[in-house]
Structure 1
Amino acid sequence: MTVPARTRAREARTPIAGSLGRANALAEWCEVRFGLPEDPVGWTTADAFMAEPARFDAWRADLGRWLVEHYGEAPERTTAGYVMSWYLSVVGMVGGTLFHQARRVPSLRPSDVAVRVADDGRPHIVAVALLAEDFACLPDDPEGDHPAATVVADEHALAALLRARFAAHAAEFVRAFGPTVRLGRRTLWAAATDALDGAAWRAGQLCGDEAAGVADAALLLPDRIEPFTSATTLRATPAGWTRRRQSCCFHFALPGAEVCDTCPRATAR
Structure 2
Amino acid sequence: MDGLQDRAGIRFDLPTGPSRGQWQRCEELIEDPTLFTKWHDLLGDWLRARHGAAPKRTAAGYVMSWYLHVPAYAAALLLHHERRVPSLRAAELAFKLSGDRPHPDGIAVLGTEFYCLPSDPGSTLPEATVVADEHELVAVLRARYIAHAARFVRAYRTVSPLGARTLWAAATDALDNSLWWAGRHGGDEGAGVADAAFVLDTTYPPLTSASTLRMTEQREWARRRESCCFSYLLPEEAECAGCPRTCARPS
TM-score range, shorter chain: over 0.9
SS at match of 1:255: coil
Shift of 1:19: 5.7
Q: State the partner residue of 2:242.
A: 262
Q: State the partner residue of 2:46.
A: 66
Q: State the partner residue of 2:134.
A: 155
Give me the whole-angstrom Cα distance separating, in 2, the residues matched to 1:233 and 1:214. 10
Shift of 1:53: 0.4
**What is the alpha-carbon root mean square deviation over aligned residues?**
1.3
Q: State the partner residue of 1:170.
A: 149
Q: State the partner residue of 1:20.
A: 4
Alignment match of 1:181 (pick from 160, 165, 169): 160
Give me the whole-angstrom Cα distance separating, in 1, the residues matched to 2:111 and 2:100. 30
Shift of 1:105: 0.5
Q: State the partner residue of 1:5.
A: none
Is 2:193 the counterpart of 1:209?
Answer: no
TM-score (norm: length of structure 2): 0.94
Shift of 1:143: 1.1
Task: Determine what percentage of the aligned residue pairs are the same residue.
Answer: 50
Give me the whole-angstrom Cα distance separating, in 1, the residues matched to 2:171 and 2:228. 11
What is the CA deviation profile of residues 116-160 of structure 1, one whole-angstrom value per residue up to 9, with x for unaligned ones?
Answer: 123x32111121111111111111111111111111111111111
Is 2:170 the counterpart of 1:191?
Answer: yes
For the Cα contact (< 8 Å) 1:98–1:104, is it kept in 2?
yes
For the Cα contact (< 8 Å) 1:19–1:102, is it kept in 2?
no
For the Cα contact (< 8 Å) 1:95–1:105, is it kept in 2?
yes
Unaligned regions of 5+ residues in structure 2, if any?
Answer: none
Q: State the partner residue of 1:43.
A: 23
SS at match of 2:158: helix
Give me the whole-angstrom Cα distance separating, in 2, the residues matched to 1:116 and 1:212. 28
Q: State the partner residue of 1:33.
A: 11
SS at match of 2:157: helix
TM-score (norm: length of structure 1): 0.88
For the Cα contact (< 8 Å) 2:86–2:114, is it kept in 1?
yes
Letter in 2 for 1:52: D
Indicate the larger mover: 61-70 or 202-211: 202-211
SS at match of 1:80: helix
Is 2:235 the counterpart of 1:242?
Answer: no
SS at match of 1:143: coil
SS at match of 1:133: coil
Alignment match of 2:117 (pick from 138, 150, 170): 138
For the Cα contact (< 8 Å) 1:19–1:98, is it kept in 2?
no
Shift of 1:38: 1.0
Shift of 1:44: 1.2
Aligned residues: 246
For the Cα contact (< 8 Å) 1:46–1:115, is it kept in 2?
yes
